[in-house]
Amino acid sequence: MHPQSFRFSLFAVFAVLGTLLSLQAQADMVPRAPQIDARGYLLMDAASGQIIVEHNADQRLPPASLTKMMTAYIAEAELQKGNISEDDMAPISVKAWKMGGSRMFVREGTRVPVGELLRGIIIQSGNDASVALAEFIAGSEDAFADLMNQHARRLGMEGSHFVNATGWPAENHFTTATDMAILARAIIRDYPEHYGTYAEKEFTYNGITQQNRNLLLWRDPSVDGLKTGHTEEAGYCLVSSAKKDDMRLIAVVMGTDSEAARARESQKLLTYGFRFFETYKAYSAGDILDTVDVWMGDSDKLRLGLSEDLVLTIPRESHENLNAEVSVTPQLEAPIVKGQQYGTVKVSLNNEVLVEKPLVALENIEEAGIFTKLWHHILLFFQGLF
């Protein structure tokens, strides 16, 4: 090859390498999160549960009508269990009828279908509907509040405490942005058959049509929930969720200064998340991640994997830089129990550990017969010598 041709070829190779490195660098570039004008806020990937952006997310704040997300969640749980049905007729008490603030306009002494009350809570943010449904489910609003706190503990909402079903200002009634995201994720995950209600823009009851106060439902077609809240103490709050392709995000803003501000600041968070991050499924539940030797068993090989999908939230186009490291308990002996942990899998991105999950047995392995076990004992003895 002529020296000049060689130099040209070498230059071409370096140029290609430079382009690839430049593209990779661009793929990993994520700008700083936008400034959000709220007392507390958070952006979460609904699939992975990973928090992308947060500020004062664990500060205890008054939730206002975001409280009704828990009220609706409990009603959805009771419906799924079959304890109540949407056609059940709930009586309207004087207490429910007299509730101020946002209302569905139910009348004292009447009976209203549970399904209608649930829509009145989610779409119209009815305080009257919330109290009526709480009384129907638990007998009283106080008893229902105890149920709310039990569900909060079960879901891991460690910064929340409820004393009523509406979010009406009260001492010792508080939550956090983190907890509201946890609750929103549970609503979407646990009761998808009811989630469509959160996207409805209006609801008519008793001849009165009221619109959903979530302005993002009109502005962004990817937004399909969840709930607004406002009191003088809490400011203007919004928990919103949106889905684009295979990615669903949950945004929480608490303590903004206007209805327009809570929509604007929520939109900032959602736009940032969709533009610069992606939901990536690294492994599915049941995928075989390793096959290892087993002693004293009726099978000498064990397949290991995950009990649930391993989903990550990563900067867009960065999945090729992911690295998985498997660690297995040494010298496994039967019996092996399916689903029991026998190691870990650690996933890193650019040498930073993102997640560590249990590596579990994908099958049972029973103990071998006496002769096989004796032979394995002999092999292990000699293995120990050398």
How far is residue 58 from each of residues 69, 157, 158, measured CA to CA in Å?
A: 18, 10, 9
d(CA 352, CA 371): 48
* Identified catalytic residue from 48, 93, 102, 125: 125
Contact 273, 50 (CB under 8 A): no
d(CA 128, CA 95): 8
Return phi, psi of residue 45, to 5°.
-80, 120
d(CA 203, CA 306): 44
- Quickly count: other Cβ atoms within 10 Å of residue 54's Cβ: 19
d(CA 251, CA 216): 12
- DSSP state string for 77-142: HHHHHTSS-TT-EEEPPHHHHH--SS-----TT-EEEHHHHHHHHHTT--HHHHHHHHHHHHSSHH
Residue 5 designated active-site: no
Contact 80, 67 (CB under 8 A): no
Residue 68 designated active-site: yes
- DSSP state string for 20-69: HHHHHHHHH--PPPPP--SSEEEEEETTT--EEEEESTTS-B--GGGGHH
Residue 125 designated active-site: yes
* Identified catalytic residue from 48, 65, 102, 318: 65
d(CA 185, CA 250): 8
Element (H, E) at 17: helix 3-28
Catalytic positions, written as ranges: 65, 68, 125
